[in-house]
Structure 1
Amino acid sequence: MTVSVEPPASLTAPLDAFIAHLASEKRHSPRTCDSYLRDLLRLVQWLCQDQQNQWQTVSNHDLRRYVARLSRDGLSGRSIARHLSAIRRFYQYLLRERLASDNPALDIRAPKSARRLPKVADVDQLTHLLDASPDDPLETRDLCMFELMYSSGLRLSELASLDLDSVDLQGGEVRVMGKGGKERILPVGRKARSAVQAWLPLRAGLAPDTEQALFVSQRGDRLSHRSIQSRLNRWGLAKGADQKLHPHLLRHSFASHMLESSGDLRAVQELLGHADIATTQVYTHLDFQHLARVYDQSHPRARRHRYHGQHRKQDSAGE
């Protein structure tokens, strides 16, 4: 257990002056100042335990040991990067005030955090949600949006920017403008085409002739990003989803399910509009998780403990 040590004024006085500098000269908010103070006080406590009481004697090696300690304490790479940013800024102030001769944190980088895998929805759950019947014209629109998202792996921004002429129902294609102004043509599945056909007559009763947006609000103007997010969440709640639905969940699910079925990483990259295949490779980890589940459920040696448990139950019943 770490024991808190009362820090000497030689460490706390410059720190107090720095926080006052942030508040008065830099006009930072109280919340930002508290964040700097909290991170730097953690360093102060570590220095006291390391029997150091002067900022100017802290070395690059000392701070590398401190970063290693933060990592052992379970801080993420992002949190450690925030700590280092606070330390670098503090030493910039100490240099300005001639209370230090160098900035020992300049070339120290935080360890990389493990990349978070995107959440995906189960195929059966998505099928259940997308097969649900809409109860009114706006739900018909919502179902059309969600079918298109999942059918073609669209980003939220791509879906919101679709115009009437973006979808070619006869050709089964949708034209989207992706990141960096890059246009791509994507296939549209049968279910999504049927959903568009059901929505278009209802849309005509809401939107004026001058409105080109494919998806419009009850007022007849282009549907906003926030409204799309809200309606997707509402659909999930109304139709019994077992997790919160959001636009990226549908895009991630599209990518993962495509990769599970095809194994074609390059094709999924093209469909998603990723400039770098490394961005798409995160889905190979998801695919492996799927394969691991199949293995655990199917391989007789993987199911050994389960079989033994069943035998034990049968033996106990026989006794």
Structure 2
Amino acid sequence: MEPAAVEARQQFLDALNVERRFSLNTLQAYARDLSQLVNYCDENELVSWSQLDPHHVRRFVAQRHRKGLSARSLQRELSACRSFFSYLIKTNVLLNNPASGIRAPKSAKTLPKVLDVDQINSLLEAVPNDDLEIRDVAMWELLYSSGLRVSELANIDLMDLDLSSRTVHVVNGKGGKSRLLPLGRKAVNAIRKWLAVRMDKVKTGEMALFVGKTGLRLTTRSIQSRLERWRKRQGLQGRLHPHMLRHSFASHMLESSQDLRAVQELLGHSNISTTQVYTHLDFQHLASVYDKAHPRAKPKKK
């Protein structure tokens, strides 16, 4: 593509970063998705965005599908393209959005995996063997106590905590939104234990709540690695990732309170339909109890 077209793509990414304050992970995903579109244009000798029409976009989606891209990934790529084309319309590069009305294949709905209360207790009540494991317990308690995303956990600074009022301030959550969340009693106790040993681990000037062996802020990848290590130590089956603690928090809160709006606020979801997936999890639990308990639901004994 001509340099002006490639530059327009970079200007769009810069706008997402500055104006909409997208996270680094989201920006990298947009960049990857639009790189695929640029490659398609180069292969088909399209030098400017104005040459791209709905027919090309359909062929692009079909080509990506043939290469084995999942329906969910195709939906994400198409969404990135739509957003980019809308930006080009605003900047007077395009008159119409060539991706408008084009749909990716539907993906099968998958419910998030959650831990039951016994599994959570097994994970959180293990006795730490060293200072880093004291830190780990504080992280797992905080994830489950407040339903944080792993990126939010990694970004928490000391000043974001108020242990006396048992709150944590998520300053820059998904979409740049902030929210104030309650902290459970056990999470507060675990954090206090970590703070007592943190001062011997941290580098001067580092404000991150959770630091690693280097004394610097933990990365999300390091947190994921530590949780998987912790799972193996506790003998839990299957893979375990930080988001499962967030899912478990949401499912258990909704099961106990039945307050969908409150859970939406706690999770920081902008759309309640995102939170409603946990009602399906709750129904699955109820249906399982029903099948086991109701006299007319039990399978006949052979």
TM range (shorter): 0.5 to 0.7
Please give the alpha-carbon distance, in whole angstroms, between the structure 1 residues aligned to 2:261 and 2:228. Answer: 31
Q: Residue 144 of structure 1 aligns to which amino acid in structure 2?
A: A
Q: Measure the CA separation in 2 of the matches of 1:164 and 1:38.
A: 46
Shift of the 39–224 alpha-carbon distance from structure 1 to 2, 3 Å rule, reads closer
Deviation readout 1:82-122 (Å, 9 max, x if unpaired): 9x9xxxxxxxxxxxxxxxxxxxx996534422322111111
How many residues are aligned here? 229
Distance change in 2, residues 1:258/1:167 (3 Å) = same
- Structure 2 contact 211–218 (Cα < 8 Å) conserved: yes
Distance verdict in 2 for CA 1:173–1:111, change over 3 Å: same
Residues 1:270 and 2:265 aligned together: yes
Aligned twin of 2:43: 22
Matched, 1:187 2:208: no
Secondary structure of the residue aligned to 2:211 is coil
The CA deviation at 1:37 is 9.7
Runs of 4+ in 1 over 2 A off after TM superposition: 21-26, 35-40, 75-82, 105-115
**5+ residue gaps, structure 1:** 1-18, 27-32, 41-74, 85-104, 310-319
Report whether the alignment pairs 1:254 with 2:249.
Answer: yes
Contact (CA 8 Å) 2:167, 2:182: kept in 1 or not? Answer: yes
Q: For 1:5-154, list aligned pairs within 5 A.
A: 22=43, 36=63, 39=66, 77-78=71-72, 109-154=103-148
TM-score by length of 1: 0.64
TM-score normalised to structure 2 length: 0.68
Matched, 1:287 2:269: no
Q: 2:169 aligns with which of 172, 175, 180?
A: 175
Return the match for 1:211 from 201, 206, 209. 206
- SS of residue in 2 equivalent to 1:115: coil
Please tell me whether Structure 1 or Structure 2 has the larger radius of gyration of its CA atoms. Answer: 1
Q: Distance in 1 between matches of 2:116 and 2:243?
A: 14
AA partner of residue 164 (structure 1): L
Identity among equivalent pairs (%): 59
* Structure-2 separation of matches of 1:38 and 1:151: 40
Gaps of 5+ in 2: 1-39, 48-59, 79-98
CA RMSD of aligned residues (A): 3.2
CA shift, 1:200, in A, is 0.5
Tell me which amino acid in the other structure corresponds to 1:275.
S
Deviations 1:228-269 (A, max 9, x none): 111111110111111211111110110011111111100100
Distance 1:171 1:117, change over 3 A: same
If asked which structure has higher relative contact order (CA below 8 Å, sep 6+), I would say 2
Give the secondary structure class of the aligned counterpart of 1:126. Answer: helix
Question: Secondary structure at the residue paired with 2:169?
Answer: strand
